[in-house]
Amino acid sequence: MNRVITWTTAALVAIGLGGGALVTAEVVGNNDAGLGVIAPVSAEVYQKLHLNLNQQAMWQQIQFAAEDNRQLLRARLSQVREVLDEELGKPEPDLEVVVAQAQPAVDSLIAAMRANRDRRLALYASMSPEQKAVVRDDIKERLARFDRLRRLLVNLLG
């Protein structure tokens, strides 16, 4: 039981607090691409991609699914937190109740995110070598920024 609680807690923390690493491409970015929803890349990168009509339709599906996933994440975390708070208010919290509530929430979120990952991979597979180079360069830049942030945090926090 302790392993189940530990893994469920770790998953919730990863999704809720450290979810940036897990869902960066899905829910973080600016909205300058004129898509009406959260964009996984900047408007500059979006413009450089020069997506054809089919790719633009795929892009829209990805954006709408990302927004749905973000709302699902908030709802699931809120539900689990309510159960956790209720149990922690008891003299002897039943953590199995929390796990029973959390596990389906985590599983449904992971399934939704995997489905959208598959959509992103299908879009990538449809791209020309030039478009893939734009994606590659953007990923490299994002990783470099992440590494700089990580180094800064390590230096600040010891």
Query: 154 pLDDT band (50/70/90 cuts)?
Result: very high
pLDDT computed for residue 60 by the predictor: 93
How confident is the model over 82-100, as pLDDT tens digits? 999 999 999 999 999 999 9
Phi/psi class of residue 89: alpha, beta or left (left: φ > 0; alpha: ψ in -120 to 50)? Answer: alpha
Of 64, 53, 50, which is closest to residue 115 (Cα–Cα)?
64
pLDDT computed for residue 21 by the predictor: 30
Q: Is the pTM of this model over 0.85?
A: no
Residue 121 confidence (pLDDT) above 60: yes
pLDDT computed for residue 40 by the predictor: 58
pLDDT computed for residue 44 by the predictor: 87
Extended strands (E) in 29-132: none
pLDDT computed for residue 61 by the predictor: 95
CB atoms within 10 A of CB 49: 21
Exposed/middle/buried for 46, CB within 10 Å: 0-12, 13-18, 19+?
buried
pLDDT computed for residue 140 by the predictor: 94
Domain ranges of the chain: 2-157
Query: 17 pLDDT band (50/70/90 cuts)?
Result: very low
Rg of the chain, C-alpha, whole Å: 19
Non-local CB neighbours of 138 within 8 Å, separated by 6+ positions:
41, 42, 45
Q: What is the dihedral of CA 83, 2, 74, 150, to 10 degrees?
A: 140
Phi/psi class of residue 92: alpha, beta or left (left: φ > 0; alpha: ψ in -120 to 50)? Answer: beta
